[in-house]
Amino acid sequence: MTEPDSLRASGSSTDLDPPGVNQLFAVIAYGEVAAFYRLTDESRMAPDLASKIAIASMAASQMRHYEVLRDAMEAKGIDVLAAMEPYVKTLENYHSLTLPRTWLEAMVKAYIGDSLAADFYGEVVDSLSGESAAVLKSVLGTTGHSEFVIAQVRDAVKENSQQRNRLTLWGRRLLGEAITQAQHVLARHDELAELVMSGGAGLGNLNEFFERLQSAHAERMAVLGLG
Amino acid sequence: MTEPDSLRASGSSTDLDPPGVNQLFAVIAYGEVAAFYRLTDESRMAPDLASKIAIASMAASQMRHYEVLRDAMEAKGIDVLAAMEPYVKTLENYHSLTLPRTWLEAMVKAYIGDSLAADFYGEVVDSLSGESAAVLKSVLGTTGHSEFVIAQVRDAVKENSQQRNRLTLWGRRLLGEAITQAQHVLARHDELAELVMSGGAGLGNLNEFFERLQSAHAERMAVLGLG
């Protein structure tokens, strides 16, 4: 399946990667699998066939990302399932603590959750170079499905302030749980924490990092017509 | 999204396509969506994370096929949702009449059902030419996930004749329901039926066609260690 050339390229880039990069690949890879199952679960609430298909496409694109990460890890000789195992509980916790009860909550979670993950991983990726950085950037890029979500939420809250207030609180809860779970992961995984702390973008100060996450979050809530 | 060149290319091939080709695209497109949801539903029965991921990958590949067909239909100016609507009930009927009760039944259905669809559509595609044929061939190709299914089923029935007999009956039922539903679709959709009947591979005789399906089915059951 894997061409000898890409094997060699990955092999050489591994030597340059700081420790923790393999952990980063693994946590993002399981994050994609968890997001696939979260999205397909939530698609039961879709109000019509067009929405059902849109969410299925979003889920499928998570699996495409997973497959890119899996191939890159396998090329490095990593046992993908074993590497993901330490992150299963944290990511399942995040999802079970933030189960949407309505289709709109599911839409807000899809948009806010994925963007938070992209913010978080994006800052780390900025400090990397070589093939690992290229692979991560390719899976953290926008999935192109956001427009669908933004339109659904904006339309629903435009003239319904009760709905808007409810979804604004929901968005804050999503941010809170995401930060809690991210801190759990960092506390338990030294090499990953070191990678985050040593980030070129000034991650040495974790508080500043979480403040940046919060301000990006506020901007995105505004895009949805919330906040 | 769509490049002008591909629009023009599709436009010209539409003129050459027999009537019924658009219906064929639509029924296969909804078939992919239905298969996505069937597979993700059934993934609840997966015995472990590796199986859950394998089935999620299979489901994601159905959505990739759907997206190829959707893009081709949109390039022809077709309203994809409206075009699929006439086939929703038949395909949902097939799935609700063949709900697997065990993981192994789900595996047999994934393998047998997808192959039957590929056989059926494959004979029709053989009679087409140009871009439509190329698009259909690209989505009817093997998904590359069959090996996973074959291994799971073969291992389970190797030394368990009760399991083998049960799954053999299950396979026959899948074939029966698929043929019944295919006949319903053909009876209700004249242009599609005409396309099938006019197939170069001698589809003029529907009975022979269904006999060929049955013999291909028997070969595949043998591959699974069944029959």
CA distances from residue B190 to B23, B122, B195, B208 in whole angstroms, order as listed: 10, 19, 9, 20
The answer to whether A177 and A100 are in contact (CB under 8 A) is: no
Residues of chain A positioned with their CB less than 8 A from the CB of B60:
36, 59-64, 67
Coil/strand/helix, residue A160: coil
Look at residue B47 in the predicted model and tell me its pLDDT.
93
- The two structure tokens encoding residue B29: 């497109």
Tell whether the torsion through CA atoms of A60, A61, A63 and A67 is positive or negative: positive
Asked if the structure places residue B59 within a domain, the reply is yes
Look at residue A208 in the predicted model and tell me its pLDDT.
80
For chain A, the C-alpha Rg in angstroms (whole number) is 18
The alpha carbon of residue B163 and the mean position of all alpha carbons in its chain are separated, in whole angstroms, by 26
CB pairs under 8 A between A and B: 60
To probe the interface with A, which of B57, B73, B84, B91 has the most A CB atoms within 10 Å? B57
Distance between CA A114 and CA A35 in Å, rounded? 9
Distance between CA A86 and CA A82 in Å, rounded? 8
Look at residue B13 in the predicted model and tell me its pLDDT.
46
The answer to whether B224 and B150 are in contact (CB under 8 A) is: yes
Look at residue B109 in the predicted model and tell me its pLDDT.
93
The answer to whether B94 and B177 are in contact (CB under 8 A) is: yes
pLDDT band at B137 (very low <50, low <70, confident <90, very high): confident
Look at residue A192 in the predicted model and tell me its pLDDT.
86
Tell whether the torsion through CA atoms of A203, A208, A212 and A217 is positive or negative: positive
- The two structure tokens encoding residue B189: 């959709």
* DSSP summary character for residue B18: P
Complex ipTM value: 0.84
CA distances from residue B76 to A71, B5, B10, B62, B189 in whole angstroms, order as listed: 36, 12, 6, 22, 20
Residues of chain B positioned with their CB less than 8 A from the CB of A60:
36, 59-64, 67
Asked if the structure places residue B12 within a domain, the reply is no
Distance between CA A154 and CA A167 in Å, rounded? 11
Look at residue B161 in the predicted model and tell me its pLDDT.
94
The answer to whether B53 and A33 are in contact (CB under 8 A) is: yes
Asked if the structure places residue A48 within a domain, the reply is yes
Look at residue B114 in the predicted model and tell me its pLDDT.
83
Distance between CA A35 and CA A58 in Å, rounded? 9
Burial of A166 (0-12, 13-18, 19+ CB in 10 A): middle
CB contact under 8 A, B43 and A37: yes
Range of the domain at B172: 19-222
CB contact under 8 A, B36 and A60: yes
The pLDDT tens digits of the residues spanning B11-59 come to: 444 456 777 899 999 999 999 999 999 999 998 899 999 999 999 999 9
Whether the predicted pLDDT of B76 surpasses 60: yes
Asked if the structure places residue A25 within a domain, the reply is yes
CB contact under 8 A, A37 and B52: yes
HSE at residue A82, side-chain half, CA atoms within 13 A, is: 4
CB contact under 8 A, B36 and A56: yes
Least confident of A13-17, A24-28, A191-195, B33-37: A13-17
Distance between CA B82 and CA A182 in Å, rounded? 44
Asked if the structure places residue A165 within a domain, the reply is yes
Asked if the structure places residue A28 within a domain, the reply is yes
**Which is more confident, B161 or B19?**
B161
Tell me, what CATH number does A69's domain have? Answer: 1.20.1260.10
- The two structure tokens encoding residue B221: 């059951």
Question: How many Å lie between the alpha carbon of A53 and the closest alpha carbon of chain B?
Answer: 7
Asked if the structure places residue B6 within a domain, the reply is no
Question: How many Å lie between the alpha carbon of B147 and the closest alpha carbon of chain A?
Answer: 14
Query: Between A36, A40, A53, which is nearest B33 by CB?
Result: A53
Burial of A102 (0-12, 13-18, 19+ CB in 10 A): middle
* Sheet strands (E) in A16-154: none
Look at residue B74 in the predicted model and tell me its pLDDT.
96
| Neighbouring residues of B103: CB distance < 8 A, sequence distance ≥ 6 | B42, B45, B46, B47, B51, B152
Asked if the structure places residue B67 within a domain, the reply is yes
Among chain A, residues having any CB pair with chain B shorter than 8 Å are: 33, 36-37, 40, 43, 49-50, 52-53, 56-57, 59-64, 66-67, 81, 84, 88
**Size of chain A, expressed as the number of residues it contains:** 227
Whether the predicted pLDDT of B3 surpasses 70: no
What is the tally of structural domains in chain A?
A: 1
Q: pTM for this structure?
A: 0.86
For chain B, the C-alpha Rg in angstroms (whole number) is 18
To probe the interface with A, which of B39, B40, B51, B53 has the most A CB atoms within 10 Å? B53
